[in-house]
Amino acid sequence: MRNYLGRKTTILVALLATTSMAHAEDVEVLHWWTSGGEAAALNVLKDDLGTKTIGWIDMPVAGGGGEAAMTTLRARVTADDAPTAVQMLGFDIQDWAVEGKLANLDAVAAAEGWDAVVPAALQAFSKYEGSWVAAPVNVHSTNWVWANKAMLDELGIAQPNTWEEFIAALQTVKDSGKTALAHGGQAWQDATLFDGVVLAVGGIEFYKKALVDLDAEALGSDQMVEVFNRMATLRGFVDDNFSGRDWNLASAMVISGDAAFQIMGDWAKGEFVNAGKVPGTDFLCFRMPGTQGMVTFNSDQFAMFEQADAGAQTAQGEMAKAIMSPTFQSAFNVVKGSVPARTDVPNDAFDACGKQGMVELAEAAKNGTLIGSMAHGHANRAAVKNAMYDVVTAHFNGEYDAKAAAENLVNAVAAAE
């Protein structure tokens, strides 16, 4: 690893200077938070930094899941014009740290006591070779279902708790002529469904063996064939226009009552909240049936790219500090739909889904049933993730059957490793 000692000192000195003389500059932030709920959450951050005289230069790159944003980032860094701060996930942070592009945040982390309040599962991605290189703003989880309560009540559908009950509920909606499952046909969204289905079929051990340890036997197993059979079953409940649809437009279908269910990470709740909807009254939130007690997580973090300018370094330190403050972590996550990265933030301001999410995350961490989302870059590096995406989405679009999909998964992963 490059010797950051000089830089570490640089950020600390700059931070101290802020308090006395230097004026913090702007931060240029690359992110993919462009949906209604995401933009509302981002405003909480912009406003918070504004109160600290840190200006915000927005660098949005639309595209849920962040693939387009990471492509844009690569081009900016190659042109030696890295943004100040970047929204980033899991193994991507590690990959940029390996390249020596990220600033060392140890001084801010030590001053703010991050080690004591950030769970080990997150620190595994926030740190590189023992040094902090990113500030975690939240913990999202992907194995959620969102449902339109009025439609379920009208059709006499109770909240499903088992896979069989879920399929029966989807069938009842389909038989009523309505769209059962709102979905956007994009590889990362198909992979988000896949996260939950793998967990439902084989539990945490199977998920880990197949999607984290990349065990060929597990990847090609009868259990994985069952996973793909269930993906095909879910495919039977989406509408004809699903291909290419953005995730937030699928959420909008459930919000408006054009569809009953959506399987999506809890950023979807940000859309419901942004539309003024209330959990338990207008919509239901529950873990994908069969995955109760388990959580597939992904954490949005801000990585700070090396900056020569002292003012920019000051702004980076202040931004990292602001992101990790308990009050900000509450205010931001209430709007975003996620839960705080810090373990010491009270849940008072959170709604029923948020409170449930916080309890389930803590329990899963305690019980060893918390695991990184493959679809959102917390199970494996991008090359392997993308190889899995290709197989999952090709199968979801009917290019081959479940047996062939499991075989292709083994081969694709082996080729990408």
Query: Which chain residues interact with ligand GAL by CB under 6 A?
Result: 32-33, 38, 64-66, 89, 140, 247, 267, 298, 300, 376
Q: Which is nearer to ligand GAL, 248 or 369 (CB)?
A: 248
- Residues in the chain, how many? 417
b (16+ CB within 10 A) / e for 375-390: bbbbbbebebbbbbbb
Least distance CB 32 / ligand GAL (angstroms): 6
Distance (Å, rounded) from C-alpha 247 to C-alpha 191? 12
Q: Which is nearer to ligand GAL, 66 or 289 (CB)?
A: 66
Confirm if 32 and 62 have CB atoms less than 8 A apart: yes
Q: Which is nearer to ligand GAL, 32 or 242 (CB)?
A: 32
Least distance CB 410 / ligand GAL (angstroms): 26
Q: Which is nearer to ligand GAL, 64 or 372 (CB)?
A: 64
Least distance CB 230 / ligand GAL (angstroms): 23
Q: Which is nearer to ligand GAL, 287 or 376 (CB)?
A: 376
Nearest Cα neighbor of 13 from 310, 322, 323 is 310
Q: Give the β-pairing of 27-31 and 85-89.
A: parallel
Least distance CB 192 / ligand GAL (angstroms): 9
Q: Which is nearer to ligand GAL, 271 or 318 (CB)?
A: 271
Least distance CB 42 / ligand GAL (angstroms): 10
Q: Which is nearer to ligand GAL, 195 or 300 (CB)?
A: 300
b (16+ CB within 10 A) / e for 317-353: bbbbbbbbeeebbbbbbbbbbbbbbbbebebeebbeb
Q: Which is nearer to ligand GAL, 300 or 318 (CB)?
A: 300
Least distance CB 133 / ligand GAL (angstroms): 18
The residue at minimum Cβ distance from ligand GAL is: 64
Confirm if 138 and 44 have CB atoms less than 8 A apart: no
Q: How many CB atoms lie within 10 A of CB 125?
A: 24
Least distance CB 403 / ligand GAL (angstroms): 30
Nearest Cα neighbor of 299 from 274, 322, 324, 275 is 324
Least distance CB 231 / ligand GAL (angstroms): 20
